[in-house]
Structure 1
């Protein structure tokens, strides 16, 4: 049987945020933030997972986060 909910605490509510980060080398030196990620986090315990923004959709990622 697959567990539904956060893998750390079992809570069933999550939210998302977007973050941008620099890479290495020249982009880091010039503070160019070209790496974009979607952060899915549990609203109870704060457990978080990062997903590459270019390849993810919010609803699918939240379903994946909860084992759906």
Structure 2
């Protein structure tokens, strides 16, 4: 079933990704251990975020590259 915007019922969209910090230690060390996928309607720009899993390897990589 294709995506349909809940606001305007458009069926064209863009998919993106966002990372964010979660707790105090991750903020201190600037580690983005929360990952979200986004779906944005191309017509009205309504955006929904969905939490996705992050791997320990990507968290370690973030730590050393920040």
Report the number of matched residues.
51
Structure 1 runs (4+) greater than 4 angstroms displaced:
none
**Structure 1: runs of 5 or more not aligned:** 55-68
Higher relative contact order (CA 8 A, sep 6+): 1
Deviation at 1:49, TM superposition (A): 0.9
- The alignment's TM-score, normalised by the length of structure 1, stands at 0.66
Structure 1 match to 2:24: 25
Measure the CA separation in 1 of the matches of 2:41 and 2:14.
7
Q: What is the RMSD of the two structures over their aligned residues, measured on CA atoms?
A: 1.4
* TM-score w.r.t. length of structure 2: 0.67
Structure 2 unaligned spans of 5+: 54-66
Larger radius of gyration: 2
